[in-house]
Structure 1
């Protein structure tokens, strides 16, 4: 099921999710699924699997759109790529023009308000924010004390007041997530924060088993890592075999070269000798 809308680039498109449909699903837990994608192939696979939402780097929106026209794309505004207010706005508008449906930022609330003032759908990032993890000291769940839970609740409220329509909640204690989500108008995107959210989010690499590390909150459904290791083994074996054939004068063979008649070779040799 998809809806016909116009993109921020003024093109008629169909989307599996819209800001309106996400907001209408408020209170309906796990109504949508979101994954990461940075390439056309990853985006195409997500859409084919029925995944409604993708998040990617702002610079990769065009590539993602090459693979999928239907998914709801949220562009991540990097900390280093866009620093000043003008750079942030320019990056956001470029991402939207390239095909994004929303942007996500972990920057200050004034930035959220600045983006929202232009009717740009903004997703915030609360809970455990990896780039800011030095403030919590280590990779850990957030909201496991009364003080931290209360502080997080107020941050949700301030983010909503700043104009965000959604929030990625990462590693928030599940019971707390349920309490906050029920009291917030923000569309909640759970990354390791339990089932009480409108959107469930996992990294594609974690889902597909593409890496040695598996976060506690993730579930593996594939083993791409094993296939990559197999490719490495096959690549090394093939390269070694090639080098061995070169050393043993077994490459190239006659059928792997371009040949001409022996008579032509003889004639050519005579001409070369004559012209010396």
Structure 2
């Protein structure tokens, strides 16, 4: 456990730091990262010694409370901020709420703007799902030497912009192997083979909670089947409830509170003595 101060100036402890990542990279020690959409998922990841979680920057405070020691990368979305200053403000807010790094899929100027403030920034290369039309659809990038060379240039530009880390999405394995030999960046890979320093998986994919998972995903559980069972059980319960109300079997004696007989008689007597509201 490492003692740190957060970007917001608060003392804290982390199982993993940015410096630890570079040490692990040098030692060829693989690390794990998963998405966490809420505090429950982040807490589960921490309990199973997942190295880091990537989350929506809007959820930082609650997830940090639930998982106080795990490394958190707070992700900004492509359309979340318009200007560089807005992106910087959002990054500072997330860091002050307990994030350890910021993920930005935006352009180099925005990334550099954030990094200049001493914030650890993770960039992105390979397939950008939000820009998939530019790639001719969702596909693997870097299967040709020309595309792989373009990825190498992305790595260099990101390094110059000040990032410490890069998410590499849907890239040909061999291309990344060669590129990594020429880059100092920590690589977070998803759909890019096994050579990444940190292997990322979506929580829904690895838990078997995605109906049509991408090719690179692998399920290690069957949460979707359990959800289907829950949904079927819910429908059955609603049907039985409606039928019981209609046939008068619910509410029944077991679920109804009754007055003592003597009190009921007093009530009836009192009601009989009341003057009608309208004559």
TM-score exceeds 0.5: yes
Q: Distance in 2 between matches of 1:28 and 1:139?
A: 34
Q: 1:124-175 CA distances to partner (integer Å, 9 max, x unpaired)? A: 0100111111100111100011111111111111111111100000011001
Query: How much has 1:25 moved relative to structure 2?
Result: 2.4
Q: Distance in 1 between matches of 2:250 and 2:45?
A: 43
Q: Which residue of 1 aligns with 2:42?
A: 43
The root-mean-square deviation of aligned C-alpha atoms, in Å, is: 1.1
Q: Distance in 2 between matches of 1:30 and 1:245?
A: 60
Contact 2:84/2:109 (<8 A) preserved = no
Q: Distance in 2 between matches of 1:237 and 1:51?
A: 37
Q: Distance in 2 between matches of 1:269 and 1:241?
A: 35
Give TM-score scaled by structure 1 length: 0.97
Q: Distance in 2 between matches of 1:203 and 1:32?
A: 15
Q: Distance in 2 between matches of 1:169 and 1:255?
A: 60
Q: Which residue of 2 aligns with 1:133?
A: 132
Alignment of 1:77-96 (within 5 A): 77-96=76-95
Query: How much has 1:3 moved relative to structure 2?
Result: 1.2
Contact 2:126/2:169 (<8 A) preserved = yes
Q: Which residue of 2 aligns with 1:146?
A: 145
Contact 1:211/1:225 (<8 A) preserved = yes
Q: Which residue of 2 aligns with 1:26?
A: 25
Query: How much has 1:30 moved relative to structure 2?
Result: 5.2
Q: Which residue of 1 aligns with 2:186?
A: 187
Q: 1:172-205 CA distances to partner (integer Å, 9 max, x unpaired)? A: 1001111111110110111111111210110010
Query: How much has 1:24 moved relative to structure 2?
Result: 2.1
Q: Which residue of 1 aligns with 2:66?
A: 67
Check if 1:263 corresponds to 2:262. Answer: yes
Give TM-score scaled by structure 2 length: 0.96
Alignment of 1:150-161 (within 5 A): 150-161=149-160
List structure 1 runs of 4+ shifted beyond 3 angstroms: 27-30
Q: How many residues are matched?
A: 275
Contact 1:29/1:199 (<8 A) preserved = no
Gaps of at least 5 residues in structure 1 are none
Q: Which residue of 2 aligns with 1:237?
A: 236
Check if 1:104 corresponds to 2:103. Answer: yes
